A and B are shown apart, each in its own frame.
Chain A
């Protein structure tokens, strides 16, 4: 029986990972592009420059393909808490369930209802009213993300509850929705989404500028996206930095794993390069030692004490290699984004004569997707072995169900999602390459 449960546990974890990673390939672009579209349409309303409307239409088509995949893959996540994590759902429904229900009523309804009005409303609505609908979609999508991240933050750092009647019961709703951990996580996630959107729009624009087609259209798009990408590349790294000291207090085992720091010590050194060795509780390889730097990075104080992995029993440590490397690469990418967007900013007025830069930006489109994926790995794998940090273990959360049906469903997820992913990205690429429609609308 124990063996059966282990299989269900591993398969359910894998299935949730597949479903979430896939979902989050589409969410960030929805969050950021909805705002860019709203800005384009607002500019059209203010300046009457038809090119902005044409921009909103062109990027809007890509947006709609992306949007629908985000919607439908989100539903499977909500329902998986019940299907695969029923013990978790019973234990935390009082708090976690209500946050999901609030997300649906307060945000998700709004975006799902007005997306169609926007998509079909170009002729039926005045430009102002039409711009308003995309603002509603943008605000609702971002609010939707806010509620989901608040729910996730409660799993990371549970507050405002008491264990009663064999479950976590809410005692302080405000504490749950206003805790610092949630605020930081929301800002980080939204910031990352805007970086991804910026790079996406810049990359496709670069393709057309390189080909010398629709140049004015795509230079405008590029500059708008660049402002977003540059601002939020700086923001995400600076804001991400603030998480360090917060983690030390709230998730010390995750922090120790992020840096592969074994001994709890003040004046903790930073290694430019290291390979962790979880089994022997040491680092297989480490060099580029900078004394006290780790304490300084995390706490802004060389005398501050950095938690070490050895403080935690082996059973309470997260998978080290995955957490560590995901974190390192995510941070590295964060700095690369600042560098790339800085160069673009410097050359923003002579983009056409910078083909090398444009090519670089075109091929950078996947990088923010990778960074987001690594970020969620840091967040979720780094939280292990807990599903609710310090309160409930992931292994105690899984449903009492038979292995074959989970094996079958994960297979279905992999096949269906791969297919959908290929189709969605191919259609987005096809439309992106085709470029904008002629300015005068075709009436048949």
Chain B
């Protein structure tokens, strides 16, 4: 029971992380498409500056909770995905420092260097997180000792790549919608146009991904066993359709909320299908890491549950306060002020 509760919490933590960091990774990735001049770029930096750090802590928490609740999965997963994870981490480092470094020296070449860091540092994690999760859904070649028989190229299989592209497009849409909230004028217009295009692309990619999931993974077994669970993919599809409805109505916060819902839905769709596995083995199902063979002791799970139940609501309250605090549009004359990045 405790293991199942932690499995659900584990899934929710990753879903929240993707829904939050998703928009700033998307903003970074789409910057070359949307920003036509320095003022646009600064608005795009400032549209994500107040949030990126708080968003990224959800990644640290999701990682930390994997470590605390399912140590064996943490150990096998992270060592198996060694090179991919290192790439994600270095990308996130470059991305994060570009906020602080970019404006400190007033030379075009210097700013361009950190723009590249921002774009690559957003693109790579968006893509690779998708690749990683698709591979988790599909299963990876681990043996009974938890030793991984593959390399980074093993992860770049067709289904893994499909997951990568799915996440990339999801995050880019999410980021463009965020920019429709934060920007005015031409930049806002460009973000709207891009969001519409990305939405169309996403419908096609998500459809293909759902089909491929039936072909490459065992995820649908849980759904066929308890058809009530189909409510998750159905709600996800509904959420995706709502995104387009709200774009048409120019209800930007609602459109962004619906795309958050879509991201949460996609994540939970995979994770619910995975249960009770955490990391399936593609060599032999009996080598798979499950919530039963990789969970921490009941005492640790209980203590951690107490801590999560106390702190996660508090975190959600103060992070919501911060989102509300910075809810206004970022305007050109605001970013001219020296406090801004």
Residues of A within 8 A of B (CB): 64-65, 68-69, 71-73, 75-76, 78-79, 81-84, 86-87, 89-90, 92-98, 100-106, 108-110, 112-117, 119-120, 122-124, 164, 167, 169-171, 173, 399-402, 405-406, 408-409, 412, 416, 420, 423-424, 427, 430-431, 437, 442-444
- Once A72-B93, A83-B78 are accepted as A-B contacts, the answer to whether A112 and B56 lie under 8 Å apart by CB is yes
Q: Is the CB of A416 within 8 A of B97?
A: no
Q: Name B's interface SS.
A: helix
Identify B57's interface contact among A83, A84, A108, CB under 8 A: A108
Q: Is the CB of A109 within 8 A of B303?
A: no
Q: Is the CB of B339 within 8 A of A105?
A: no
Query: Which residues of chain B are near A424, meaning CB under 8 Å?
Result: 97
Query: Which residues of chain B are near A81, meaning CB under 8 Å?
Result: 67, 78
Give min CB distance, B192 to chain A, whole Å.
26
Q: Is the CB of A106 within 8 A of B311?
A: yes
Assembly CA distance A64 to B296 (angstroms)? 37
B213 within 8 A of A: no
Q: Is the CB of A112 within 8 A of B57?
A: yes
Assembly CA distance A65 to B326 (angstroms)? 22
Q: Name A's interface SS.
A: helix
Give min CB distance, B38 to chain A, whole Å.
15
B292 within 8 A of A: no
B333 within 8 A of A: yes
18 cross-chain CB contacts under 8 A: A64-B100, A71-B96, A76-B93, A82-B75, A86-B76, A90-B76, A92-B71, A97-B296, A98-B68, A101-B307, A102-B68, A109-B315, A109-B319, A113-B319, A114-B322, A117-B322, A120-B326, A444-B337
Identify A78's interface contact among B64, B308, B326, B339, CB under 8 A: B64
Known interface pairs A117-B322, A420-B97, A444-B337; 12 further A-B residue pairs with C-beta atoms within 8 A, sorted by A's residue number: A65-B101, A72-B97, A73-B93, A78-B60, A82-B78, A83-B85, A112-B54, A169-B296, A400-B145, A416-B90, A427-B104, A442-B338
Q: Is the CB of B60 within 8 A of A123?
A: no
B74 within 8 A of A: yes
- Once A109-B57, A120-B326, A427-B104 are accepted as A-B contacts, the answer to whether A97 and B68 lie under 8 Å apart by CB is yes
Query: Which residues of chain A are near B151, meaning CB under 8 Å?
Result: 402, 405
B61 within 8 A of A: yes
B:145-162 near A, CB below 8 Å: 145-148, 151-152
Give min CB distance, B6 to chain A, whole Å.
11
Residues of B within 8 A of A (CB): 49-51, 53-54, 56-57, 59-61, 63-65, 67-72, 74-79, 81-83, 85-86, 89-90, 92-94, 96-97, 99-101, 104-105, 145-148, 151-152, 296-297, 299-300, 303-304, 307-308, 311-312, 315, 318-319, 322, 325-326, 333, 336-340
Q: Is the CB of B297 within 8 A of A86?
A: no
Closest chain A residue to B318 by CB distance?
A113
Q: Is the CB of A97 within 8 A of B71?
A: yes
Q: Is the CB of A116 within 8 A of B54?
A: yes
Q: Is the CB of B51 within 8 A of A68?
A: no
Q: Is the CB of A116 within 8 A of B322?
A: yes
Query: Which residues of chain B are near A97, meaning CB under 8 Å?
Result: 64, 67-69, 71, 74, 296
Assembly CA distance A97 to B337 (angstroms)? 43
Query: Which residues of chain A are near B77, meaning CB under 8 Å?
Result: 82
Q: Is the CB of B75 within 8 A of A173?
A: no
- Once A86-B78, A94-B297, A113-B53 are accepted as A-B contacts, the answer to whether A105 and B92 lie under 8 Å apart by CB is no
Assembly CA distance A69 to B145 (angstroms)? 36
Identify A100's interface contact among B64, B299, B333, CB under 8 A: B64
Q: Is the CB of A110 within 8 A of B90?
A: no
Give min CB distance, B186 to chain A, whole Å.
22
Identify A93's interface contact among B74, B82, B86, B148, CB under 8 A: B74
Identify A101's interface contact among B50, B67, B86, B322, CB under 8 A: B67
The 7 closest A-B pairs by CB, nearest first: A93-B71, A82-B78, A97-B67, A101-B64, A86-B75, A86-B79, A101-B68
Query: Which residues of chain B are near A113, meaning CB under 8 Å?
Result: 53-54, 57, 315, 318-319, 322
Q: Is the CB of B79 within 8 A of A82?
A: yes
Assembly CA distance A96 to B304 (angstroms)? 12
Assembly CA distance A98 to B305 (angstroms)? 11
Identify B101's interface contact among A83, A100, A106, A423, CB under 8 A: A423
